């Protein structure tokens, strides 16, 4: 069955009714998430029904706290791509807005789960809360399941080092520059993926062209200047470079974080290409400089530091 993305309750069709579903943010699609997806797929196979992951966009904590919300590990597009790669057949994405926020737990069950999806089985954690003021819980779902004819299964817990794997732990590891720990929790190295867009092109004026990638999130889990490797998606070669992740305070500033990568000894252009960036070492924090000339001199020092890290001569 081909993968399907369904955006909004209004786009559910009769053929979408009858499924096995799970609900969550799945930020990072880490090892714990993949175990839940494994449960979902096994249950879907047993019942001979499609598997559905329900997401909210924006994520609820972003709706309530916007730029004060925890940094998002991955953008929606990458999350959907990762879930599809694991074998999920459908992603159902609900816009989290004031109307949904005010929906009672009972109304959510009836309108979304029963009338909308026609679920036959639901896989959620026993600490799952939903509905207006988060009054809905696992016990209420079990009661509703008995009434409407669906089963509710508790998700399994995956631990690393005696502690549950979570997106919060991964954010902490990234903030602490413990990339090895983040990789263990994720099951793969942490990268940021996106499409290269045109920027102010100030770097070209000082001989330091950059590939600019907008991160499509309020905050980034990484901030500062890094030695990185970049590859064009669908290619194998990883190219060394130096990157800044942040708001570019010296040159006018941004309201949302942007990733800028200068590749060392690279000839060519990347505009319009989708790229993936792997962070190797943090070189310094992002800072505001008194002038563009002061920023320029620091950029040259950052490039020299990245060259030293990668063992590349001047």
Interval 87-107 mean pLDDT: 94
Interval 231-238 mean pLDDT: 91
Q: With a cut of 90, say whether residue 205 has pLDDT above it.
A: no
Residue 69: inside a domain: yes
Question: 15 and 152, same structural domain?
Answer: yes
Of the pLDDT bands very low, low, confident and very high (cuts 50, 70, 90), residue 105 is very high
CATH number at residue 151: 3.40.50.620
Interval 244-259 mean pLDDT: 82
Q: With a cut of 80, say whether residue 131 has pLDDT above it.
A: yes
Question: 151 and 27, same structural domain?
Answer: yes
Interval 84-103 mean pLDDT: 94
Phi and psi at 161, nearest 5°, equal 65, 30
pTM of model > 0.95: no
Question: 102 and 36, same structural domain?
Answer: yes
Residue 238: inside a domain: yes
pLDDT at res. 64: 86
Residue 177: inside a domain: no
CATH number at residue 271: 2.40.30.30
Residue 184: inside a domain: no
* Token pair for 89: 């057949």
Residue 99: inside a domain: yes
pLDDT at res. 253: 66
pLDDT at res. 251: 72
pLDDT at res. 278: 96
Question: 149 and 15, same structural domain?
Answer: yes
Task: Name the average pLDDT for the chain.
Answer: 92
Residue 180: inside a domain: no
Q: With a cut of 90, say whether residue 256 has pLDDT above it.
A: no
Interval 105-125 mean pLDDT: 95
With CA atoms as reference, report the closest residue to 141 among 114, 172, 101, 180.
114
Number of structural domains found in the chain: 2
Q: With a cut of 80, say whether residue 207 has pLDDT above it.
A: no
pLDDT at res. 268: 81
pLDDT at res. 156: 85
With CA atoms as reference, report the closest residue to 172 among 219, 120, 221, 205.
221
Question: 131 and 39, same structural domain?
Answer: yes
Percent of the chain exceeding pLDDT 70 equals 97
Question: 274 and 229, same structural domain?
Answer: yes
Question: 148 and 45, same structural domain?
Answer: yes
Question: 46 and 141, same structural domain?
Answer: yes
Residue 185: inside a domain: no
Question: 124 and 261, same structural domain?
Answer: no
Residue with tokens 């090895």: 180
pLDDT at res. 202: 66
pLDDT at res. 178: 96
Q: With a cut of 70, say whether residue 260 has pLDDT above it.
A: yes
Of the pLDDT bands very low, low, confident and very high (cuts 50, 70, 90), residue 190 is very high
311 HSE (CA, 13 A, CB side): 0
pLDDT at res. 240: 97
pLDDT at res. 82: 97
Residue with tokens 């004819």: 149
Percent of the chain exceeding pLDDT 90 equals 72
Q: For residue 225, what are the domain limits?
A: 191-310
Residue 215: inside a domain: yes
Interval 224-244 mean pLDDT: 94
101 HSE (CA, 13 A, CB side): 11
Question: 156 and 93, same structural domain?
Answer: yes
State pLDDT tens for residues 17-70: 999 999 999 999 999 999 999 999 999 999 999 999 999 999 888 888 877 889
Question: 141 and 225, same structural domain?
Answer: no
Question: 269 and 153, same structural domain?
Answer: no
| Secondary structure of residue 163 in the 3-state scheme | strand
Interval 142-156 mean pLDDT: 94
């Amino acid at each position: 069955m081909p993968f399907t993305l369904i955006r909004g309750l209004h786009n559910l069709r009769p053929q979408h009714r009858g499924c096995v579903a799970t609900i969550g943010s799945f930020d990072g699609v880490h090892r714990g998430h993949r175990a839940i997806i494994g449960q979902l797929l096994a249950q879907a196979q047993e019942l001979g029904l499609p598997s559905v992951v329900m997401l909210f966009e924006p994520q609820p904590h972003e709706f309530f706290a916007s730029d004060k919300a925890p940094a998002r590990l991955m953008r929606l597009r990458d999350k959907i791509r990762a879930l599809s790669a694991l074998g999920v057949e459908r992603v159902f994405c609900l816009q989290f807005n004031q109307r949904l926020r005010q929906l009672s737990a009972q109304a959510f069950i009836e309108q979304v789960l029963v009338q909308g999806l026609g679920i036959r089985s639901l896989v959620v954690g026993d600490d799952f809360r939903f509905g207006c003021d988060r009054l809905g819980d696992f016990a209420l779902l079990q009661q509703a399941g008995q009434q409407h004819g669906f089963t509710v299964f508790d998700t399994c817990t995956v631990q690393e080092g005696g502690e549950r794997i979570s997106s919060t732990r991964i954010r902490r590891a990234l903030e602490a520059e413990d990339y090895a720990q983040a990789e263990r929790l994720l099951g793969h190295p942490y990268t940021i993926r996106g499409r290269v867009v045109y920027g102010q092109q100030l770097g070209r004026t000082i001989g330091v062209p950059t590939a600019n990638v907008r991160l499509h999130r309020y905050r980034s889990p990484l901030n500062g200047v890094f030695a990185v490797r970049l590859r064009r998606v669908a290619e194998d070669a990883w190219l060394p470079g130096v990157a800044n992740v942040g708001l570019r305070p010296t040159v006018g500033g941004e309201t949302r974080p942007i990733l800028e990568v200068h590749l060392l000894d690279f000839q060519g252009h990347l505009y319009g290409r989708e790229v993936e960036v792997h962070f190797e070492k943090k070189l310094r924090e992002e800072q505001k400089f008194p002038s563009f000339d002061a920023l320029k001199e620091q950029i040259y020092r950052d490039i020299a530091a990245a060259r030293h890290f990668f063992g590349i001569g001047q």
